[in-house]
Chain A
């Protein structure tokens, strides 16, 4: 049994106390003295030429301090993109400027045209209505394939077309893949849409800029998953403020799911305006505004093919995907359909040849970037859908077909044909566990019972793998990343033995304040209550890349282990001095240093006190104090994997799908806090189920957002989802990070959509609707009914 508060214990979260009593400190809770309020006047058309902006009347409105337009930002850079993809011809992607405020043209509904800064938020909005904007509306590029036509309206006039890049991976394999298809005994083809989603963390984005002219110091408080990344991007590329004059603080943040990774115009604006006006400037997004200004997710249209030999072994995979970038390149947008998607196309299978083609397209829609899973859900959905479809075409059991093609435990480390090397895994074990927990053996009887009630019962299966714990910096550098992806930690041991940790990872729901303390406390053998975790403020934490890609524990936790090991090593030297013994003979157990084989010992606080009150201390050979910083750069991705089973019923009269049971058997390697891991899986499952059945971000032909509020964008509610059965007992620890952890944040959202859709198809096929071989997400009642009835 793990020690309470140590690694492996379901320690209750310490952060909950403030959240449960209304004492969290979210960015919008912050009100600075003399603060002004910003309101963004946004485009109501998807594409248009700005002929004139007249702010004179608005400027005279009550409370208005100043109105900003693109003119004010002439000396300022655009919002940078953090990843440059190289196309299949070796050419860099087309990279348009992304101005803070629209210059000359508006390119999506919601593109900011002007900002009113006033004494109150309502005054700012009142005045924005008095701004006269003359816009000549232009035809909009909305549908991706249409946007690539020669006569399509161009989103960016200075680019050659709306094609951002045409990427082939692995281009050298293309001919061999085509040959494998020519020689295949069976080819399964599937065309599908991975629909656009809106991340919708419950806290809308907020930015508060502040400026201290006496010290020339700017501060930005923002709802971010990675304050250091914002400081770097905004300081260096947009506003030209050096890091030592710019502090970025992300206090309590109400969820992110990717959408709060990116650097947004509103952050740069508030920081800039505060410097101009020498007063704090605050912007709080409404939910309606979030639908038009937060980067959205997914939006892939794919044709995929799977080749099999006569024995049903997978011989090749070929895909062609259109990936929507929206109107501008958001921070990590180009990497999502490429390096986070193509590299996962092998899944859990031994398929020897793979070719992935991705055409990234600019359209007059809100920019698209990473959303929980980012590229990996798209890959998993394609693969797990086509394997199911192939099994049906071949008349074989979809579980058996998967097992036959699984990479086997003795094949690790396993290099896939899409450039990644899986370290460990045991996919039959997770499949077995899922089937056992889900009582798959009893499914047939349950299906009969459903039939008696006039319902169609189905069981859908998916087995996923993801590459997370991103990422080795030298590798991602070769792939076009304009940043490193290491993580950092400073462990500051105080004189009395308590510990202040400063981490570059950011917690916005993940519970780092609890789990990171568990790691340090466990390593030293002290009570977790002795350890405090600090994060989210660039002024006191070491440079860190933040929280996304299921990387906090695998990368940030590894940095923490490294720093704590440095602390332990130094503490042992101090203990050796105090105990007059050789360093090699010092053992640390339960917070006590002892000399091996003797009863001589000094406790943790004795050593830490000696470090800060160095009266009896080897000052000639060692510095006083006990504080260490470590940076950890991973040597590989981590590869969580798992089997998901979704049991559901379709109401044949209405097409409504009800999920009856959902089972997840995940291999996350070692687990620090099982309670938190299970919670992460639950949340991911709800988002995946939401994608599969409910959520849909839709634009009409003119580029107007149809699903622009919670009245039309269907967020899963408590009565839309089941209880989940979650297991993480099958684990193959990661071989290349010190904790042996793999990451669990995105798994649920990656593995669940294909499990649900496979379940819907299974129910319909069993119910006699054999003509239904695919339904695009979301499988809404209307769509399921239409598919059943051939409408």
Chain B
């Protein structure tokens, strides 16, 4: 066991990790931050996405010891300081961009990374960017809508025939 120290959501936290301890396991089991989920073991699904030193990564495919000393942002660190939802989180609720909620933390973290690099993405860019995040519930329509809305674009009427 080796001591690993991370700055997680602005707080310095330490724990013990084996060589094989993944960042996702370290966050969930050692630090008790269970918002980061694990949905596959082949680095496909993206439920485990967190930001390490500002970059979105799949925490199930990063060794905890390999990022010792890094700054990590997880879904638990996304809300505003007063506890209210951040713009991207609020957009997911407003546009029903989640159902079972399991892929949601990774989706939100991945979408947040996109908007940082590309503040006004097109629909095609959003869809392409989310290729590393699998959702089985929503059919993606409302996720894409939420990300577009969070970027300040008008999404009224998208795909709703009755309106």
User: Direct A–B touching in the complex (beta carbon < 8 Å)?
Assistant: yes
Q: Which A residues have a C-beta under 8 Å from some C-beta of B?
A: 12-13, 15-24, 26, 28-29, 31, 122, 200-204, 252-255, 257, 286-288, 433, 437, 508-511, 663, 665, 674-676, 678-679, 682-687, 709-711, 715-719, 721, 723-729, 748
Among the stretches B33-41, B51-59, B64-72, the one at the interface with A is B33-41
Is B144 interfacial (CB 8 A cutoff)?
yes
Task: Select A718's contact among B40, B101, B140, B162, beta carbons within 8 Å.
Answer: B140
Q: How far is the CA of A752 from the CA of B143 in the complex (A)?
A: 20
Given contacts A21-B85, A683-B136, A718-B127, contact A723 B99 (CB under 8 A): no
Across chains A and B, which 7 residue pairs bring their CB atoms closest together, nearest first?
A22-B35, A254-B102, A19-B101, A686-B139, A509-B100, A509-B99, A682-B139
Is B96 interfacial (CB 8 A cutoff)?
yes
CB distance from A508 to the nearest CB of B (A): 5
Q: Which B residues have a C-beta under 8 Å from some C-beta of A?
A: 18, 20, 28-29, 33-42, 44-45, 47, 74-76, 78-79, 85, 89, 92-94, 96, 98-105, 108, 123-124, 126-128, 130-131, 133-144, 158-162
Q: How far is the CA of A269 from the CA of B137 in the complex (A)?
A: 29
Measured between beta carbons, the chain B residues less than 8 angstroms from A288 are 41-42
Can you name 11 A-B pairs with beta carbons within 8 Å?
A16-B93, A202-B37, A433-B161, A665-B161, A676-B96, A683-B138, A686-B138, A710-B42, A710-B134, A711-B44, A718-B144
Q: Is the CB of A19 within 8 A of B144?
A: no
Q: How far is the CA of A17 from the CA of B34 in the complex (A)?
A: 15
Q: Is the CB of A21 within 8 A of B133?
A: no
Q: Is the CB of B85 within 8 A of A20?
A: yes
Measured between beta carbons, the chain B residues less than 8 angstroms from A18 are 101
CB distance from A94 to the nearest CB of B (A): 34
Q: Is the CB of A253 within 8 A of B100?
A: yes
Given contacts A287-B42, A711-B42, contact A718 B130 (CB under 8 A): yes
CB distance from A394 to the nearest CB of B (A): 31
CB distance from A300 to the nearest CB of B (A): 22
Q: Is the CB of B160 within 8 A of A678?
A: yes
Q: How far is the CA of A715 from the CA of B130 in the complex (A)?
A: 13
Given contacts A717-B130, A719-B128, contact A203 B102 (CB under 8 A): yes
Measured between beta carbons, the chain A residues less than 8 angstroms from B41 are 286-288, 709
Please, which residue of chain B has its CB at the minimum distance from the CB of A511?
A: B99
Task: Select B99's contact among A437, A510, A710, beta carbons within 8 Å.
Answer: A510
Task: Select A202's contact among B34, B78, B126, B135, beta carbons within 8 Å.
Answer: B135
Given contacts A288-B41, A679-B99, contact A723 B35 (CB under 8 A): no
Q: How far is the CA of A687 from the CA of B37 in the complex (A)?
A: 22
Given contacts A20-B92, A682-B142, A717-B130, contact A726 B102 (CB under 8 A): no
Task: Select A723's contact among B34, B123, B162, beta carbons within 8 Å.
Answer: B123
Q: How far is the CA of A684 from the CA of B136 in the complex (A)?
A: 9
Task: Select A675's contact among B35, B96, B140, beta carbons within 8 Å.
Answer: B96
Q: How far is the CA of A201 from the CA of B103 in the complex (A)?
A: 10
Q: How far is the CA of A20 from the CA of B127 in the complex (A)?
A: 20
Task: Select A679's contact among B79, B94, B96, B103, beta carbons within 8 Å.
Answer: B96
Q: Is the CB of A721 within 8 A of B99?
A: no
Measured between beta carbons, the chain A residues less than 8 angstroms from B92 are 16, 20
Measured between beta carbons, the chain A residues less than 8 angstroms from B103 are 202, 254
Q: How far is the CA of A31 from the CA of B131 in the complex (A)?
A: 32
Please, which residue of chain A has its CB at the minimum distance from the CB of B129?
A: A718
CB distance from A28 to the nearest CB of B (A): 8
Q: Is the CB of B93 within 8 A of A710?
A: no
Q: Is the CB of B45 within 8 A of A201?
A: no
Q: How far is the CA of A728 from the CA of B39 in the complex (A)?
A: 33
Measured between beta carbons, the chain A residues less than 8 angstroms from B44 are 709-711, 715
Q: Is the CB of B76 within 8 A of A22?
A: yes
Given A510-B99, A729-B161, 4 extra CB contacts under 8 A = A204-B39, A715-B44, A718-B144, A727-B162
Q: How far is the CA of A252 from the CA of B101 in the complex (A)?
A: 9
Q: How far is the CA of A678 from the CA of B149 in the complex (A)?
A: 18
Q: Is the CB of A12 within 8 A of B35?
A: no
Q: Is the CB of B160 within 8 A of A200?
A: no
Q: How far is the CA of A710 from the CA of B132 in the complex (A)?
A: 11
Measured between beta carbons, the chain B residues less than 8 angstroms from A679 are 96, 99, 137-138, 142
Please, which residue of chain B has its CB at the minimum distance from the CB of A679?
A: B96
Q: How far is the CA of A714 from the CA of B131 in the complex (A)?
A: 12
Q: Is the CB of A12 within 8 A of B94?
A: yes
Please, which residue of chain A has its CB at the minimum distance from the CB of B126?
A: A718
Measured between beta carbons, the chain B residues less than 8 angstroms from A711 are 42, 44
Q: In the complex, which of the residues A252, A510, A717 has the most CB atoms of chain B within 10 Å of its own CB atom?
A: A717
Q: Is the CB of B133 within 8 A of A718?
A: yes
Q: Is the CB of B136 within 8 A of A715?
A: yes
CB distance from A416 to the nearest CB of B (A): 29
Measured between beta carbons, the chain B residues less than 8 angstroms from A22 are 33-36, 74-76, 78, 105
Q: Is the CB of A16 within 8 A of B98?
A: yes
Q: How far is the CA of A434 from the CA of B134 in the complex (A)?
A: 29
Q: Is the CB of B138 within 8 A of A725?
A: no
Q: Is the CB of A287 within 8 A of B40?
A: yes
Measured between beta carbons, the chain B residues less than 8 angstroms from A17 are 85, 93
CB distance from A685 to the nearest CB of B (A): 5
CB distance from A572 to the nearest CB of B (A): 36
Q: How far is the CA of A83 from the CA of B131 in the complex (A)?
A: 40
Q: Is the CB of A685 within 8 A of B100?
A: no
Q: In the complex, which of the residues B76, B133, B137, B159 has the most CB atoms of chain A within 10 Å of its own CB atom?
A: B137
Please, which residue of chain B has its CB at the minimum distance from the CB of A19?
A: B101
Measured between beta carbons, the chain A residues less than 8 angstroms from B126 are 718
Q: Is the CB of B98 within 8 A of A508?
A: no
Given contacts A20-B85, A727-B162, contact A26 B102 (CB under 8 A): yes
Measured between beta carbons, the chain B residues less than 8 angstroms from A724 are 139, 141, 159
Given contacts A22-B75, A201-B100, contact A287 B39 (CB under 8 A): yes
Please, which residue of chain A has its CB at the minimum distance from the CB of B99?
A: A509
Measured between beta carbons, the chain A residues less than 8 angstroms from B75 are 20-22
Q: How far is the CA of A725 from the CA of B161 in the complex (A)?
A: 6
CB distance from B42 to the nearest CB of A (A): 5
Q: How far is the CA of A678 from the CA of B137 in the complex (A)?
A: 12
Q: Is the CB of B136 within 8 A of A687?
A: yes
Given contacts A676-B96, A726-B161, contact A201 B42 (CB under 8 A): no
Q: Is the CB of B137 within 8 A of A728?
A: no
Given contacts A682-B139, A723-B141, contact A21 B39 (CB under 8 A): no
Q: Is the CB of B93 within 8 A of A12?
A: yes
CB distance from A509 to the nearest CB of B (A): 3
Measured between beta carbons, the chain B residues less than 8 angstroms from A200 are 136
Task: Select B161's contact among A663, A682, A710, beta carbons within 8 Å.
Answer: A663
Q: How far is the CA of A716 from the CA of B140 in the complex (A)?
A: 9
Q: Is the CB of B141 within 8 A of A717?
A: no
Q: Is the CB of A682 within 8 A of B104?
A: no
CB distance from B78 to the nearest CB of A (A): 7
Please, which residue of chain B has its CB at the minimum distance from the CB of A24?
A: B101
Measured between beta carbons, the chain A residues less than 8 angstroms from B134 are 202, 710, 715, 717
Q: Is the CB of B140 within 8 A of A202?
A: no
Measured between beta carbons, the chain A residues less than 8 angstroms from B124 are 719
Q: How far is the CA of A24 from the CA of B75 in the complex (A)?
A: 11
CB distance from B159 to the nearest CB of A (A): 4
Q: Is the CB of B137 within 8 A of A509?
A: yes
Measured between beta carbons, the chain A residues less than 8 angstroms from B123 are 723
Q: How far is the CA of A671 from the CA of B159 in the complex (A)?
A: 18
Q: Is the CB of A255 within 8 A of B159?
A: no
Please, which residue of chain B has its CB at the minimum distance from the CB of A14?
A: B93
CB distance from A360 to the nearest CB of B (A): 27
Q: How far is the CA of A445 from the CA of B132 in the complex (A)?
A: 36
Q: Is the CB of A710 within 8 A of B74?
A: no
Please, which residue of chain B has its CB at the minimum distance from the CB of A286?
A: B41
Please, which residue of chain B has its CB at the minimum distance from the CB of A20?
A: B89
Measured between beta carbons, the chain A residues less than 8 angstroms from B143 are 718
Q: How far is the CA of A710 from the CA of B131 in the complex (A)?
A: 13
Measured between beta carbons, the chain B residues less than 8 angstroms from A201 are 100, 102, 136
Please, which residue of chain A has its CB at the minimum distance from the CB of B85?
A: A20
Given contacts A20-B89, A22-B36, A204-B39, contact A13 B96 (CB under 8 A): yes
